[in-house]
Structure 1
C-alpha cells in the first residue's frame, strides 16, 4: 500500500498512540473526547468524536508565564501600641494625634523635661551612671547618639574585658588590662574610697558606658533641654523600633506621667493579607507583589513578613472545618496615591514563579501519548513530541524540535 508523506512522518514503533482531547495535569481533570489509533504507523486517522472536537487552530506564541494569585488585604499603619510613662511626675506636654516623631525628637514632657525617642529594641531598664557598665541598653544609647551626630569615641568590641566602677562616671579602664589615659597629665588627688571595681566581658550586641559616651550624653542633654548630668535613668527616653505616628492621645496635661499616655504606630504604611496556611508555602520574604488600590491604580510592594502562627478562622463556620490563616505583611512605597490613604481595602497579586520568553499554547492543544509524554498536532495531522513546562491561566509552556513561534496547531474548540 502506498503511504503518504504524513504517514511517513508518523513514528513506526508498533505501539498505539492515544489522542486525548484535553490533558489532566497538576490536579486539573479534563474530559477525554475520543481516540484515534494508528498501528505500525500505516493506518490513516479515522473520523471520530475526538477529531470533530479538535476543530480549533491555535498559534504557538512566545510569551511570559507566571503563576500568581490575587488576595484581599488591608492597607494601613501597623497595629497601634500603647505608650506608658516610666518616670514619676506630671505630664506637661503631649503631641497631637497624627503627629510623626522621629529619633531624638520629643514624644512628651514630664515636669517640663523632654522625653525623646530613641530607636532600638531594648528600653532603658536601669540607671546608667556607672563607668564601664555594659549591656544592650547602653548599645541603644551609644547607637542613637552616634546617629544624632555626637562623638561617642570608640566602643570596646565583643570579647573585650572592661573594668566597671559601680558609682563612678570617670574614665573607664579598657580591655587589655591597662588603664585608659586620663584627660589631663596632671597628678590627681588621692582617690576617695569607692566600692570594689569588677571586670566584665563585653558580649555581642552590648555597649559600654565609657568616659567618651558619658561626655556625649552630657552634650546631648544640654541640647535637648534635659539636666546635663551624664546620667540616664528609666523613663528618660522612650525606645521605639523607629519613627512613630501618634494615634489616640489618652492622657491630659497634669496627669500622672506613669499612666497610659497615648498609642503609636509605625509611620510606614503596610498591607496585611490573611492567607490560608495551605497557600503560604509559595510566599517568601523579599518577594515582589502588585498592590491594586481602591482607585484601580497599582503600586509595587515587597513581602516583609510571612507569619508563622496560624490563626483559627473557624468561628462562625457552621461547617465545622476551616483552615488556619497566617498574616503576610507587605511594604509599599510612600507614593502620592498611598500617602493620601490612612486605611483602605486593596488587592495583592502574589507571583510564586515566572518564566520569561517561553513558547506556549492553550492546554487543549496537548495530546497525551500512550507510551508517555505529550505532543501537539499540526493541521495536516502530523504529531510533534513536546516537553511541557509551566501551566498558567489556560496556557502551557512547551518545547521540542520543530516547535517555533508562529507554528499552527490543532486544539479543542
Structure 2
C-alpha cells in the first residue's frame, strides 16, 4: 500500500534551515549554549507571527471508491437470454433484471430469498408477506390483507401483476419470475449476454446497493489511525476533495504470511476500513476508482506554532527561532512538537502568541 506523509521530518527541516543560511546560537566556553540576547543586526526582512491554535498531522493512504453490499443474482428459468440489465444501471422494485425467452425476472424488495413457489395452499410464511407487500406497493391487491397468508385475494393480485408484466398467468410466483433483494440495486457486472443459454441456479448478474463507500485496506500497524466516526478527506482521481466519515473498521486482519505463502511473497497484513461520503452525489458514477484518503495521525490542541521555515538549526543541536522585537533580534532555543498545515509546535521560555519571528525570504 502506498503511503504519503504530508509533513516534513525533523531531519529534513534541519537540513532546510542550514541550507537557508540561518543563524545559530554561539557556544560559551563551557560548551553550552549561552543565554540568547539582543543583537545589533537589523530585523529580518520577512516575519511571521507566533500563533496559538490546533495542529493536525496527516497521513494519506490509498482507497477505492465503490458501492456497498455486493450480491450475486441467480437465474430461475431455463431458456435463451433475450435481455439483461446493462452494467451501471439502477434497477428498482417491479423492474426486470433479466429476460429469458422474453419473460422477465423481476426485482422485489425483501430480505428473505424466494426459496419456494408461492401459491394457493402454501403454508404461511414471511416470504408470502414480502410478496403481498410488494404487490401492494406496485398497485395491486387493494382488497388484499398484507400478512403471512396466501389467500384468494393474493392469487387475484398475482394474476393481475402477471398479466401486466407479460408473464404466464398462473397465479403462482417462483424464482423464475421474482428475485427478492433488500432494496434498489446497481448492476455491477453482467455474467451472461443476450443469446446465451440460461439455466436455473446459474449466476446471471453481480449487483450492489446504490450506497457509495470508500474502502481502504489499512496496514494493521496503522490501525490506530482509524477511529469510527472520525472525519477524513477523500481525493477523487480528478482532484476533487470530499469529506467523509469512517463508518466501519474490520476486526479481522487479512494478508500477511501463511503456510502456502512463498518466501518473498508475503503481503502486509491489513484491516478493512469503510468510509461514508458526506456528499456521495459529487462522486459521480465512478466505480472501483482509485482515491486518496487523508487520515489524521496526530492532533495538538491550543499550542503555539510558527511556520516550519522559521526554525533554525543550532550548532550545539536542537532548534531555535529568531525573535524580532522592534529594531533588534535575538535567537531563542525552542522545543518542537507536532507538525501540520506547514507549521510546527514550539515551546520555550518567554514565548507568547503574537510575537514575530524571522522567516527566510522566498
Q: Provide the TM-score with structure 2 as the length reference.
A: 0.62
1:133 to 112, 115, 124: 124
Shift of 1:115: 0.7
Gaps of at least 5 residues in structure 1 are 1-27, 31-45, 157-161, 171-210, 366-375
| Number of residue-to-residue matches in the alignment | 308
CA distance in 2, matches of 1:77, 1:399: 47
Shift of 1:133: 1.2
1:107 to 92, 97, 105: 97
* SS of 1:239 mapped into structure 2: strand
* SS of 1:116 mapped into structure 2: strand
User: 1:220–1:297: structure 2 CA closer, same or farther, 3 Å change rule?
Assistant: same
Q: Please list, as runs of the form range in 1=range in 2, the aligned pairs for 1:2-401 lying within 5 A after superposition.
A: 47=28, 49-51=32-34, 59-76=49-66, 81-87=71-77, 89-95=78-84, 97-98=86-87, 100=89, 101-129=91-119, 130=121, 133-135=124-126, 137-145=127-135, 147-148=137-138, 155=146, 169-170=151-152, 211=153, 216-241=157-182, 242-253=184-195, 255-258=197-200, 260-266=202-208, 267=210, 270-314=213-257, 318=264, 323-332=268-277, 333-335=279-281, 338-339=284-285, 341-351=286-296, 359-360=304-305, 392=340
- The alignment yields a C-alpha RMSD, in angstroms, of 5.1
CA distance in 1, matches of 2:132, 2:356: 70
CA distance in 2, matches of 1:292, 1:52: 48
CA distance in 2, matches of 1:280, 1:271: 16
Q: Provide the TM-score with structure 1 as the length reference.
A: 0.55
Q: Greater share of strand residues, 1 or 2?
A: 2
CA distance in 2, matches of 1:106, 1:225: 11
- Answer 1 or 2: higher relative contact order, Cα 8 Å, separation at least 6: 2
Gaps of at least 5 residues in structure 2 are 1-8, 12-26, 312-320
Q: Is the 8 A contact 2:61 2:294 kept in 1?
A: yes
CA-to-partner distance for each residue in 1:161-190, whole Å, 9 max, x for gaps? x8x6xxx734xxxxxxxxxxxxxxxxxxxx
CA distance in 1, matches of 2:144, 2:351: 68
User: 1:276–1:142: structure 2 CA closer, same or farther, 3 Å change rule?
Assistant: farther
CA distance in 2, matches of 1:252, 1:86: 16
* SS of 1:94 mapped into structure 2: strand
Shift of 1:78: 6.3
User: 1:277–1:112: structure 2 CA closer, same or farther, 3 Å change rule?
Assistant: same
Partner of 2:354: 406
Q: Is the 8 A contact 1:82 1:260 kept in 2?
A: no
Q: Is the 8 A contact 2:235 2:292 kept in 1?
A: yes
